[in-house]
Structure 1
Amino acid sequence: MFKSARWRSEKKKKKIKIVFKLQFHATQVSELKAEGLTISLVPGDVGKPTGKTEKATVLDGDCRWESPVYETVKFVEDVKTGKLNQRIYHLILSTTGSTKSGVVGETSIDFADYIDATNTCNVSLHLHNSISKAMLHVSSLFLFLALMLVMT
């Protein structure tokens, strides 16, 4: 019996791994009356936090995190189109010291928008579902790039 040859369309994909250095600063948090705040990084496709800041104290309505968070983000680029997949992360701002319902608000950021940045990017984000008018300011710097060409 004769079977015809099946042609597979070869799709080449490039896997890219980038380490981002994230520095956080929250403003307009005086109305929260919280001792301290933390930020959790939750990838949209995972649903569980992959990174978290240390506790930072609120001083005069501002909250600065001294230590940066390093987050490794994996991208897939279609070689033909050059299009990158979205990598949306949810940033969840929470109060510390509270036993229940400590979430102040959350916002989202797509790291694919910052993959071509050559310098530090500063982004100001409004918090959604927030009990205050707090703003989250993120400084991101792309540190390390690893490429892998894969045929699938």
Structure 2
Amino acid sequence: MTVVVTPQDVGRPTARTERAEVADGACRWPAPIFEATKLPSAKAAAGDKIYQFLVYETGSAKAALLGEATVNMAEYAEAFKPSAVTLPLKGSPAPGALLHVS
């Protein structure tokens, strides 16, 4: 599996995970990806900073979209510690598929 990260305001992918294998219904990527973004400050007018995560199954010759999730990073602008978020995968053929993001 592979995850592609796309900021809505950029409109094109800015990060991609390495391929990882699914084991016992779960997938863990060996190397994290980091995405730097400018978030609104508490004093600034609240704005959205939407990121889209596309999850692809890469086991065959052609990658197939498994599902997608979005998160508004502006909701975490005041966070001082990493946050763990569980995002349901929309459009996934696997009911209840989730993407866990830190």
TM interval, shorter chain, is 0.7 to 0.9
- Quote the offset at 1:85 in angstroms: 1.9
**Cα RMSD, aligned residues only:** 1.8
- Quote the offset at 1:78 in angstroms: 8.7
Structure 2 gap segments, 5+ residues each: none
Instruction: Identify which of structures 1 and 2 has the higher relative contact order when contacts are C-alpha pairs closer than 8 Å and 6+ apart.
Output: 1
Contact 2:53 2:70 in 1 (8 A): yes
Contact 1:75 1:84 in 2 (8 A): no
TM-score, normalised via structure 1 length: 0.61
For residues 5-44 of structure 1, the aligned pairs below 5 Å read: 37-44=1-8
Tell me the distance in 2 between the aligned counterparts of 1:75 and 1:115: 6
Structure 1 75/118 Cα, relative in aligned 2: closer, same or farther at 3 Å? closer
SS at match of 2:75: helix
Tell me the distance in 2 between the aligned counterparts of 1:51 and 1:75: 18
Counterpart check, 1:68 vs 2:5: no
Specify the structure having the higher radius of gyration (Cα). Answer: 1
Structure 1 132/116 Cα, relative in aligned 2: closer, same or farther at 3 Å? same
- Quote the offset at 1:101 in angstroms: 5.8
Partner of 1:114: 76
TM-score, normalised via structure 2 length: 0.88
- List 4+ stretches of structure 1 deviating above 6 A: none
| Aligned residue pair count | 101
**Which one of 1, 23, 36 corresponds to residue 59 of structure 1?**
23
What is the percent sequence identity of the aligned residues?
39
Counterpart check, 1:49 vs 2:49: no
